[in-house]
Amino acid sequence: MIENAIIFSKEANKAIVTSIFGEVNPESEDFSDSLAKIREIAIKLEKGVFNLDLSAGLIAIIFAIQSISVALVFNESLEKRAIKEWEDVAKQIASGIDKIYDPMSADIESSELKKILDEIVEWHLKEESPIDKMKDALW
């Protein structure tokens, strides 16, 4: 099933948020080659969804949303039908965020959501996670 999720900033040209759901840590050395491949596509991808086969029996679904891209990494045991469902979820998220970022949208709720998303992305660009900070400063 799902191993991890990574959000990339196209502006910063790097991963800004990572989440682990399974056994594969996106920040581990073992995953560094796969991360480099994902990053390359995530930064270049302008719109839509991209399926990427990785080594070590992993696959990634990468989808682009304005200035950010999201990669969901699965192990190979995922059935084709399940991949299709995740793709649909990714598209739904992407279209939802597209709506929020639509410059023609005058919806107050959308503008509030955009503000929150921008704030979170900006903040993550600037600040590292507590674990990263501890590793950087002390551990």
Partner 1 sequence: MADLPSDVSLGALITVGIVTLAVTIVVIFLYIRYFERRRLPAITLAVTFTFWDLGAISVFVGSLIHYLRQPIAAESIQAVRYGFNIGYAFSAISNIFLVIFVSQIFAQSPMFRKTYKLVPLINAIFNGVTIGLIIDVIIADPTNPAYGLAQTIYHLVMTFIAFLLLLFFSIGARGKVQFRWEKAGFSFIIGSALAGIMIYLMLALDRVATLFVPGFEEGYTPFLYIGWTFAILMCTLAYAGYIMPMFLRRLFKEEKNHG
Nearer to partner 1, 82 or 116 (CB): 116
Distance of CA 4 to the CA centre of its chain: 9
Task: Answer whether 7's CB lies under 8 Å from 15's CB.
Answer: yes
x/- string (CB under 8 A) for partner 1, residues 2-41?
A: ------------------x--x-x-xx-------------
Taking CB under 8 A as the binding criterion, the range among 37-45, 55-63, 68-76, 124-132 that sits at the site for partner 1 is 124-132
User: Quick one: tokens of 62?
Assistant: 């990468």
Taking CB under 8 A as the binding criterion, the range among 30-38, 43-51, 76-84, 122-130 that sits at the site for partner 1 is 122-130
**Rounded to an integer, what distance in angstroms lies between the CA atom of residue 109 and that of residue 115?**
10
- How many chain residues are in contact with partner 1, going by CB under 8 A? 19
**Rounded to an integer, what distance in angstroms lies between the CA atom of residue 121 and that of residue 109?**
18
What's the CA dihedral at 8, 37, 96, 90 to 10 degrees? -140
Phi and psi at residue 70, to the nearest 5°: -120, 130
Nearer to partner 1, 16 or 70 (CB): 16
Binding site for partner 1 (CB under 8 A): 20, 23, 25, 27-28, 119, 123-124, 127-131, 133-134, 136-139
